[in-house]
Amino acid sequence: MALHIVTPLIESVPLSAACGREVWLKLENTQPSASFKLRGIGKLCSQLYEEGKKTFICPSSGNAGYSTAWACRELGTKAIIVAPSGTPADAVKAIESLGAEVIVRQGTWDVSNAYALELAENDPEAVYVTPYDDPVLWDGHATMIDEITEQAPWKPDLVICAVGGGGLISGVTDGLIRNGWADVPILGCGTNGADAFCQTIRAHDTVNIGTVSSLVHCISATHVTPHIVDCMDTVQYKTYVTDDVTAVDACEKFMVDHRFIVDPACGVTLSSVYTNAPELGDAKHIIVIVCGGAGVVVDEYKYIRDHYAAEA
């Protein structure tokens, strides 16, 4: 049984007006776990549960952890989320509200990831749940493209999504390929200080940026899955990079325009359309993946804005 739902694809009059193109939104924020992550993580956890695993351990600062907790709640099993120290307190509380145990580790996501792997290795009934790097995960995420092919009034000229470790864009990639839409370009969006995808595309090889300075935690990965490089000759990847404050600006506009509160990672994607970025090219029909925002609160927008104002 799938744990995710079919999400709406709606036309956005405000975003269309902002960029002078026809823009439709795939509302992954309406998933039960509030993000697209439930598609892939739900499928992966269900498969591992059927194989006899009892404890699911995921390193995450937000959406992946919340989706793992949600999936385990539905499956009636245990979730342990290992979060980096920069994870917002509201995100931790949201994950704990689903019955998951949250362990906060001092340092970056890489530190949390190493500890999650260690925990899983030391418990025969436990399993590590990757937030982004597993073919089963990508196959789950690809179902959103399956839905779009049936929902959209046209074949898009461009699909836009946020990129952290590359799980979402890998699912979008695989979905486009399996539906015969491999010629549709994908605009992957990141921020200054969290642009591993952009650097990987430029280098045509996986780049590890070493450290992450962006405050947009949900895309704060030091590198992307090698699957991106594997697909470079099959699909057309484009890149867009902005700053954290512009991402927050887009979130606030979106909150007014569509009455949704979304993660700043989603704001990165939305900002490319609100600003009519040159990276949109000559695309006339655009689909934006509204990736979600589990645990996000408006105060997070203010925190990011105030942080950079203090640095100015």
Q: What is the pLDDT of residue 85?
A: 86
> How far are the Cα atoms of 43, 120, 170, 253 from residue 230, in angstroms, in the given order?
23, 28, 10, 36
Q: What is the pLDDT of residue 211?
A: 86
Which of 17-26, 87-96, 137-146 has the lowest average pLDDT? 87-96
Encoded amino acid at 46, one letter: S
Are 160 and 211 a contacting pair, CB within 8 Å?
no
Q: Which of 99, 66, 71, 70 is nearest to 83 (CA)?
A: 66
Cβ neighbors of 210 (< 8 A, separation 6 or more) are 222
pTM: 0.94
Are 29 and 262 a contacting pair, CB within 8 Å?
yes
Q: Is the pLDDT of residue 258 over 90?
A: yes
Which listed CATH number (3.10.20.740, 3.50.50.60, 3.40.50.1100, 3.20.20.70) goes with 9-36+135-311?
A: 3.40.50.1100
Domain 37-128 has what CATH class? Answer: alpha beta
Q: Is the pLDDT of residue 209 over 80?
A: yes
Rounded Cα distance between 51 and 47, Å, is 6
**What values do phi and psi take at 83, rounded to 5?**
-110, 140
- Structural domain spans, the chain: 9-36+135-311, 37-128
**What values do phi and psi take at 183, rounded to 5?**
-85, -5
- 29-44: average pLDDT: 96
Find the DSSP H helices in 122-166. 135-141, 143-151
Q: Is the CA virtual torsion 270, 278, 216, 226 positive or negative?
A: positive
Reduce the DSSP state of residue 226 to 3 states and report it. Answer: coil
Q: What is the pLDDT of residue 294?
A: 78
